[in-house]
Amino acid sequence: MFCPKCGAQLPDDATFCMKCGTKIAPSPDQQAGQAAPKPAAPAGPILAPSGATSLKCPSCGAPIAPKFGEMVITCEYCGSGITLNNDGWRSIQKQTMLPIVFTEEQTVAKIHDLMDKGLLHRHLQESSTCEEMSLSMVPYWIVQVSARTSVVVQDVATQTAQTATTAALLGVILGGAMGGGGGRGMGGGRRRLLSKIPSLKLPALGTSFLSLGGLGGAGGPSRVNFYGPRMGGGGANQRTYDMAGNYNFPIVALKALNEYQPKSYQFKLDKRTLFDVSKIPKGTKILNGDVGEEAAKYQAKALVDQLQSEKAHAQYHMIQQLHSQIDVSDAELLHAPIWFARYDHKGSKIVLVVDGYSGDVINSIGL
């Protein structure tokens, strides 16, 4: 699908153009699907009630015993996934995985380059003790999120020009009306003259404008201290910008790993495949989860809203208003190979979380 305004290529389910922000109307097929939704069950039949302590795998029939708090379970025999919803245990309709590409040696080399960046970190890895280097297949909910943010900012150029004009005008008036021997205080006529400057806030009567020498003919340089003009509240000096983005936002499905929840990282999903336990090396942990799909969608919406705000503040200054429209759609369960590296450096802990598929660092603590 392509944007009708700028021609950018977009995902088929995009609601906004990520390049120009144009709202994308649904295609005729999508409209037909919305007008006459199919009654297909999206989550499959209920396998067991929510309080069940044992059930059978829907694919191979192997016994599954949910532990307290678990909401996402992968069958250790065939790799099929089940999740706990409000109405009970159901099969996960879309479960994928990323291949393991980076070996332990390659990951250590990546970590070495990261830890030794900069003069202050020179030989940091060599002087640290590695306490853990482990690989696990970690479950993430990949939530499709579309975001459009409207940003109202103050026109800096207009404000700077008005401030400079007022400052120059004030200098001319003070230079002509207050120079050489004319009175010690702020006269009424001079104050009326200054009051004609738009938006200039004058101090109360009896307050000296000058930090040195007074207003009279004491001689020597004087410094004028005054407050700059305040911009009007209308929209004449404001500009509105739109920011749009589409995300495949990852939410870690394990509360114990919330500390390592990605803030802006997104997995490279081009090589993901359907989950196949036979492709995972023996001895590699396949973790279950305790975060359900609906909770993941809610968390993804909040984190994308925060991310859009951070991007806006990084790009624009003097923001007056900021509003984001966040749309959440489908989610899939992805098992990603994650390397956990833990170091001790003179009593300080350093933790790095590395994507075992791309070799990119997802999170680091202590660096």
Residues 6+ apart with CB under 8 A from 204: none
- Which of 184, 199, 226 is the C-terminal boundary of a domain? 226
The number of domains in the chain is 4
Residue 189 belongs to some domain of the structure: yes
Residues 6+ apart with CB under 8 A from 199: 166, 229, 230, 231, 232
**99: number of CA atoms within 13 Å, CB side?**
6
Phi and psi at 62, nearest 5°, equal -70, 150
- CA distance readout (Å), 64 to 58, 83, 256, 295: 10, 12, 22, 23
Residue 321 belongs to some domain of the structure: yes
If asked whether residues 179 and 285 sit together in one domain, one would say: no
Is there a contact between 46 and 89 (Cβ–Cβ < 8 Å)?
A: yes
Residue 35 belongs to some domain of the structure: no
Residue 106 belongs to some domain of the structure: yes
pLDDT of residue 176: 56
Structure tokens at 66: 């949910």
Is there a contact between 287 and 340 (Cβ–Cβ < 8 Å)?
A: no
The model's pTM is 0.67
Instruction: Tell me the C-alpha distance between 129 and 21, whole Å.
Output: 49
If asked whether residues 143 and 266 sit together in one domain, one would say: yes
Quote the domain boundaries for residue 288: 95-152+237-365
- Nearest by Cα to 293 from 120, 151, 93, 75: 93
Spell out the per-residue pLDDT of the chain, length 367, in tens: 667 777 665 666 666 665 565 667 766 555 554 444 444 445 578 888 888 889 999 888 899 999 888 889 998 888 888 898 888 898 888 899 999 999 999 999 888 888 777 545 667 777 888 889 999 999 999 999 999 999 998 876 555 555 556 566 666 555 655 555 444 444 455 555 555 555 454 544 444 433 434 334 444 433 333 333 333 444 558 889 999 999 999 999 999 999 999 999 999 999 999 999 999 998 899 999 999 999 999 999 999 999 999 999 998 888 889 999 999 998 999 999 999 999 998 888 989 999 999 999 998 888 7
Instruction: Tell me the C-alpha distance between 183 and 330, whole Å.
Output: 77
If asked whether residues 251 and 121 sit together in one domain, one would say: yes
If asked whether residues 83 and 171 sit together in one domain, one would say: no
- Which of 182, 202, 226 is the C-terminal boundary of a domain? 226
If asked whether residues 135 and 199 sit together in one domain, one would say: no
Residue 231 belongs to some domain of the structure: no
Helix axis angle, 156-177 to 188-195, nearest 10°: 160
If asked whether residues 194 and 86 sit together in one domain, one would say: no
If asked whether residues 129 and 246 sit together in one domain, one would say: yes
Residue 80 belongs to some domain of the structure: yes
- Nearest by Cα to 190 from 200, 180, 202, 178: 178
Residue 200 belongs to some domain of the structure: yes
If asked whether residues 242 and 337 sit together in one domain, one would say: yes
- Nearest by Cα to 82 from 74, 282, 133: 74
Instruction: Tell me the C-alpha distance between 76 and 285, whole Å.
Output: 10
| Encoded amino acid at 277, one letter | V
If asked whether residues 271 and 138 sit together in one domain, one would say: yes
- Which of 52, 67, 91 is the C-terminal boundary of a domain? 91
Residue 34 belongs to some domain of the structure: no
- CA distance readout (Å), 240 to 33, 207, 337: 35, 40, 42
- Nearest by Cα to 244 from 314, 325, 320, 142: 325
- Nearest by Cα to 157 from 242, 240, 238, 243: 238
- CA distance readout (Å), 302 to 56, 295, 327: 35, 11, 11
If asked whether residues 242 and 346 sit together in one domain, one would say: yes
Q: What angle do CA 199, 200, 201 make, to 5 degrees?
A: 110
- CA distance readout (Å), 185 to 99, 171, 217, 222, 226: 81, 17, 12, 14, 16
pLDDT of residue 37: 41
Helix (H) or strand (E) holding 106: helix 104-115
Q: Which ranges of the chain would DSSP assign to H, the alpha helix?
A: 28-35, 104-115, 156-177, 188-195, 293-315
If asked whether residues 268 and 129 sit together in one domain, one would say: yes
Q: What is the CA radius of gyration of the chain?
A: 31
The helix/strand/coil state of 72 is: strand
pLDDT of residue 346: 85
If asked whether residues 134 and 206 sit together in one domain, one would say: no
Q: Where do we find the tokens 């020498």? A: 213
Q: Where do we find the tokens 């209920």? A: 46
Give the end-to-end CA distance of the chain in Å, rounded to a whole number.
42
